[in-house]
Amino acid sequence: MTTIARFEDLEAWQKARVLARDLYVLSGTGDFARDRILRDQMRRAAVSVLSNIAEGFERRGNAELVQFLSVARGSVGELRAQLFVASDCGYLDSTQFAKLYAMAEEISAKLGALIAYLRRSGMKGVKFKV
């Protein structure tokens, strides 16, 4: 088991950071970069994922962490839906779409598992073992 003492230790946060970076790179070129509304909304959703994980963790309460992890998971769902729009508009090729979508699904699954674990654990703080 690993002790989680900082939000940066959470694998879901680490993967969300990579997803946000990759999305920023891909959305910064070509027609995607010129579609400011979709580009900015997708970037906000991606940043929301890692931001909500961090904010929930820093509040130092289990119930609040679960709440913010749930918000982060919702943002991942929002981003997955927006990936379809970006793909349908031709901003992402099938390989780029598949990579980003798989990353988003993995983050969602990790957040869901962490939420379930925290709800079962009955812990009151956020320093925990996984």
Q: Note whether 65 and 59 are within 8 A (CB).
A: yes
Flag the least confident range among 65-69, 113-117, 126-130.
126-130
Kindly report the average pLDDT of the chain as a whole number: 93
**How crowded is residue 31: how many other Cβ atoms within 10 Å of its Cβ?**
11
Mean pLDDT of 21-42: 97
Fold held by 10-125? de novo design (two linked rop proteins) (1.20.1440)
The dihedral built from the CA positions of residue 34, 38, 44 and 47, taken in this order, carries a sign that is: negative
Q: Note whether 8 and 14 are within 8 A (CB).
A: yes
| Alpha helices (runs of H) in the chain, residue ranges in sequence order | 11-26, 30-34, 36-58, 62-88, 94-121
Flag the least confident range among 17-21, 29-33, 56-60, 118-122.
118-122
Mean pLDDT of 77-91: 98
pLDDT of 129 strictly over 80: no
**Which backbone phi and psi does 4 adopt, to 5 degrees?**
-100, 110
pLDDT attached to residue 1: 54
Please report which confidence band the pLDDT of residue 121 belongs to, taking 50, 70 and 90 as the band edges: confident
pLDDT attached to residue 128: 52
pLDDT attached to residue 127: 54
pLDDT of 73 strictly over 80: yes
